[in-house]
Amino acid sequence: METYFTKEHEWVTIKDGVAAVGISDHAAHLLGDVTFVELPPLGKVVTQFQQFAAIESVKAASDIYAPLSGKIIKVNEALEVTPEIVNESPEEAAWIVRLEPSNLEELQNLMTRTQYEEFLGGME
Amino acid sequence: MKLIYEQSSAGRRGVRLPASDVPAAVPLPAELLRTELAGLPEVSELDTVRHFTNLSRRNYSVDTHFYPLGSCTMKYNVKAVENGAGLFSEEHPLLPLLPGGLEHAQGSLGLLHALGEALAEITGMAEVTTQPLAGAHGEMTGIMLISAYHKARGNKKRYVVVPDSSHGTNPASAAMAGYEIITVPTASYGDMDLELFRAAMSDEVAAVMMTCPNTLGLFNPHIREICDIAHSFGALCYYDGANLNAIMGKVRPGDVGFDVIHLNLHKTFGTPHGGGGPGSGPVGVREALVPFLPTPRIVKRGASFILETENPRSIGRTANFFGNFGVMVKAYAYILMLGREGLIRVSEQAVLNANYIMARLKEYYDLPYDFTCMHECVFSASRQVKQGVHALDIAKFLIDKGYHPPTIYFPLIVKDAIMIEPTETESKETLDAFIQVMIEAAQLAESDPSAFAALPVTMPVTRLDETRAARSQNVCFAGC
């Protein structure tokens, strides 16, 4: 199952037509200890690259952008109680929302893992 | 040190009032009466005085130590201006609004008017409202003025453009006012990327918000061009005046093309900042936006000052009474004390001090944007991070050496940022002593990086667990 990334360090994977979205291992590492995740309301319709959630760490507060357009059908409520899972398992347990993508062609605007790693290398 | 609640002893009182032998004229309704005690600490007057005096001695302030907190302009607050504020303390803030009260409040209204005129002259604006209570409130007022301006012209505007080096309050204020934010990245020259800015502009952009010098302490050489481009799309230019301390008497934002500006009197104009505030965030506007200014607006008619309260185009009142009046008295006194030449010297000295620190420390810390800076300089602890020593650790080291740390981890575009703003009020000796301690921190990071983990050791509390404090917040002493 391919994982795609945005320049703003969100990841997305698609399984059975549902997209899981979170922030990358790199982003979680940069943020440091995460203390709060502001989740969007269920049913919210988001547009690709539009801000839809926010995350706070001891160092900073950052916006989270939608990697794909679609409707949010599930939010990870565990993050409200235990935001530390963003640091422990950013690309698995700490998925933030699941959404029904409205246009899978938008995947073309994202990076594959290899491309993302190259992108990160270029930022050093 | 015990909390005042922990010193409580049942039945102890600071003052014992004699029992009233006068019946209450009208007894209070039963539902308004308390049925149990308020739970205040039961302590004597002396216990109270000692407790708060001892607490105050643990305070850190610009009156006791150097305070190079970047972006905050923690300059010394001249004591003479406090006396000025005291002269006005007897007047009730409602007086000018009461029937017949106006003529008795001419001095106070005159002062507000004169302060507004002085700020308008310093910034190159047509008129200034002194109502907003702090910087972010000023921003909110400024964006509401921009929104009112566009609405009055029937302009359809959706976006506000903000560079990624801006203060976090800029996008927040614009979003609060209902705009969507377009963020423009910083180019290698340390300022908003001009080409990406051009690409972000459209007829739907309501405003461009700029801080100049920006949070890297750099003056944007393209600032006039940016204003021209924004205007060509019918957008207004907003100047975040948080960093005005760098440019007074050198550049007037109005002359460059800015349409709206907010100022922080508690930064640039020498009034207390932070816990010692309150703040004050006057907003200046170009002529075309004057009709939308908050009411009541103080207008000079002949030799007297009147209040313009009826104005359907105004965004309305933005603060109680006339804003934080005491702060404005102090700021006005500060401006009069320094005069034009003095204010120019303030900026020159602030810029010189920051460049002195930058030049002397850049051998020891990475300087990602290596240009002549304005009133502050931004280092990165990235060299120290390789040894496992982060900006936070260096901050703790400074605390042990008697310094308030600089701002750390801001701006966000610099990794492990250390943002130093010395202000104009510090002597070379003070700067040299601080530089020496910063050099010691860099040397210790090389020779014994593990030494930082336990710092600070000289404070009432040692290294705090900031993560746990943020994750499991409990601000109640007892009973919750």
Residue B197 lies in a domain: yes
Q: Does A8 touch chain B (CB under 8 A)?
A: no
Instruction: Specify whether B292 is located in the same domain as B362.
Output: no
Question: CA-based angle B90:B92:B98, to the nearest 5?
Answer: 145
User: How is domain A3-118 classified at the architecture level of CATH?
Assistant: Beta Barrel (2.40)
How much is the pLDDT for B440? 98
By CB atoms closer than 10 A (0-12, 13-18, 19+), residue B266 is: buried
pLDDT tens across A9-37, in order?
999 999 999 999 999 999 999 898 999 99
- Higher per-residue pLDDT: B113 or B23: B113
Chain A residue nearest residue B408, CA to CA? A59
Work out the average pLDDT over B68-73: 94
With bands split at pLDDT 50, 70 and 90, how would you rate the model's confidence at B223?
very high
Work out the average pLDDT over B438-462: 96
Q: Write the DSSP symbol of residue B185.
A: -
Q: Looking at B49-58, B201-210, B253-262, which range is the least confident one?
A: B49-58
Residue B15 lies in a domain: no
Q: Which residues pair with A98 in a beta bridge?
A: A20, A74
Work out the average pLDDT over B342-371: 97
Question: Among residues B337, B355, B389, which one ends one of the domains?
Answer: B337
- Choose the most confident range, by mean pLDDT, from A59-63, B53-57, B259-263: B259-263
How much is the pLDDT for A97? 97
pLDDT over 90 for what percent of chain B?
83
Does the predicted interface ipTM exceed a cut of 0.90?
no
A33: which chain B residues are within 8 Å (Cβ-Cβ)? 466-467, 470-471
> Hey, which residues 86-105 in chain A have their CB within 8 Å of chain B?
none
Query: Cβ A33–B467 below 8 Å, yes or no?
Result: yes
pLDDT over 90 for what percent of chain A?
86
- Nearest by CB to residue A60, choosing from B412, B467, B471, is B412
Distances from the Cα of B410 to the Cαs of B125, B336, B352, B414, B439, in angstroms?
Answer: 30, 34, 22, 7, 21
Best of B184, B396, B467 to substitute, by most chain A Cβ atoms within 10 angstroms, is B467
Instruction: Specify whether B190 is located in the same domain as B133.
Output: yes
pLDDT over 70 for what percent of chain A?
98
Find all residues with CB under 8 Å of B90, minimum gap 6, and list them: none
How much is the pLDDT for B248? 97
Q: Where are the domains of chain A?
A: 3-118
Query: Cβ B470–A36 below 8 Å, yes or no?
Result: yes
Q: Write the DSSP symbol of residue A109.
A: G
pLDDT at position B478 over 90: no
How much is the pLDDT for B479? 57
Chain B residue nearest residue A82, CA to CA? B471
With bands split at pLDDT 50, 70 and 90, how would you rate the model's confidence at B82?
confident
With bands split at pLDDT 50, 70 and 90, how would you rate the model's confidence at A124?
low
> Hey, which residues 18-47 in chain A have their CB within 8 Å of chain B?
33, 35-36
Shortest alpha-carbon distance between residue A59 and chain B (Å):
6
Instruction: Specify whether B154 is located in the same domain as B274.
Output: yes
pLDDT tens across B396-446, in order?
999 999 999 999 998 988 999 999 999 999 999 999 999 999 999 999 999
How far apart (Å, rounded) are the C-alpha atoms in residues B365 and B408? Answer: 14
How much is the pLDDT for B386? 96
pLDDT tens across B4-51, in order?
999 999 999 999 999 889 887 888 888 999 998 888 999 999 999 999
With bands split at pLDDT 50, 70 and 90, how would you rate the model's confidence at B380?
very high
How far apart (Å, rounded) are the C-alpha atoms in residues B460 and B2? Answer: 12
Q: Do residues B8 and B42 lie in contact, with contact meaning Cβ atoms separated by under 8 Å? A: yes
How much is the pLDDT for B277? 73
Residue B152 lies in a domain: yes
Among the listed residues B170, B178, B188, the one whose alpha carbon sits nearest the alpha carbon of residue B238: B170
How much is the pLDDT for B276? 65
Distances from the Cα of B206 to the Cαs of B77, B160, B178, in angstroms?
Answer: 37, 6, 11
Average pLDDT of chain B? 94
Looking at the structure of chain B, the number of domains it has is 2
By CB atoms closer than 10 A (0-12, 13-18, 19+), residue B187 is: middle
pLDDT tens across B354-366, in order?
999 999 999 999 9
Residue B313 lies in a domain: yes
pLDDT at position A1 over 90: no
Chain B residue nearest residue A59, CA to CA? B409
With bands split at pLDDT 50, 70 and 90, how would you rate the model's confidence at B117?
very high
Query: Cβ B409–A35 below 8 Å, yes or no?
Result: no
Pair of tokens at residue B231:
């205007």
Q: What is the CATH number of the domain that holds B397?
A: 3.90.1150.10
How much is the pLDDT for B256? 96
Query: Cβ A58–B168 below 8 Å, yes or no?
Result: no
Omega of the bond leading into B368 within 30 degrees of 0 (cis): no
- Could you please report the per-residue DSSP string of B303-362? TEEEEE---TTS----SSBTBSHHHHHHHHHHHHHHHHHHHHHHHHHHHHHHHHHHHHHT
Shortest alpha-carbon distance between residue B302 and chain A (Å):
52
Instruction: Specify whether B161 is located in the same domain as B266.
Output: yes
pLDDT over 70 for what percent of chain B?
99
* Residue B419, domain extent: 341-459
Instruction: Specify whether B226 is located in the same domain as B372.
Output: no
With bands split at pLDDT 50, 70 and 90, how would you rate the model's confidence at B127?
very high
Residue B27 lies in a domain: no
How much is the pLDDT for B476? 79
B471: which chain A residues are within 8 Å (Cβ-Cβ)? 33, 35, 83-84
Instruction: Specify whether B202 is located in the same domain as B276.
Output: yes
Q: Looking at A50-59, A67-76, B283-292, which range is the least confident one?
A: A50-59
Shortest alpha-carbon distance between residue B469 and chain A (Å):
9
Could you tell me which residues of chain B have a Cβ less than 8 Å from any Cβ in chain A? Answer: 168, 181, 409-410, 412, 466-467, 470-471
B164: which chain A residues are within 8 Å (Cβ-Cβ)? none
B181: which chain A residues are within 8 Å (Cβ-Cβ)? 51
Instruction: Specify whether B329 is located in the same domain as B390.
Output: no
Shortest alpha-carbon distance between residue A51 and chain B (Å):
10
Instruction: Specify whether B272 is located in the same domain as B363.
Output: no
pLDDT at position A46 over 70: yes
How far apart (Å, rounded) are the C-alpha atoms in residues B243 and B346? Answer: 13
Instruction: Specify whether B189 is located in the same domain as B275.
Output: yes
Q: What is the CATH number of the domain that holds B233?
A: 3.40.640.10
B410: which chain A residues are within 8 Å (Cβ-Cβ)? 60
Q: Looking at B81-95, B104-118, B309-323, which range is the least confident one?
A: B81-95
With bands split at pLDDT 50, 70 and 90, how would you rate the model's confidence at B382?
very high
Residue B61 lies in a domain: no
Among the listed residues B388, B404, B141, B115, the one whose alpha carbon sits nearest the alpha carbon of residue B265: B115
Residue B283 lies in a domain: yes
- Nearest by CB to residue A35, choosing from B409, B410, B471, is B471
Best of A7, A49, A55, A58 to substitute, by most chain B Cβ atoms within 10 angstroms, is A58
How much is the pLDDT for B38? 86
Q: How many CB pairs under 8 A join A and B?
A: 21
pLDDT tens across B272-327, in order?
987 667 999 999 999 999 999 999 999 999 999 999 999 999 999 999 999 999 99
Residue B13 lies in a domain: no
Chain A residue nearest residue B382, CA to CA? A124
